[in-house]
Amino acid sequence: MAVNCYFTFPTVYFALRAEAVLKDSGCSFKMVPVPRAISSSCGTALRCPCEEIDAIKEVLENNKVQWDNVHLLQEEEPRPRSRGLLARKEARA
Among 26, 51, 64, 84, binds another protein (CB under 8 A): 64
CB contact set of 36 (below 8 Å; sequence gap of 6+): none
Q: Which of 63, 62, 55, 72 is nearest to 8 (CA)?
A: 72
20 binds another protein (CB under 8 A): yes
Among 17, 49, 57, 70, binds another protein (CB under 8 A): 17
Nearer to another protein, 10 or 54 (CB): 10
Residue 13 beta carbon to another protein: minimum distance, rounded to whole angstroms:
6
89 forms part of the interface with another protein (CB under 8 A): no
Q: Is 31 in the site for another protein (CB under 8 A)?
A: yes
Rounded Cα–Cα distance for residues 84 and 71 (Å): 34
Strand order in the sheet with 2-8: 30-33, 44-49, 2-8, 69-75
Please count the other Cβ atoms lying within 10 Å of the Cβ belonging to residue 49: 14
**In the complex, which residues of this chain contact another protein (CB under 8 A)?**
10-17, 20, 30-33, 41-44, 64, 83, 86
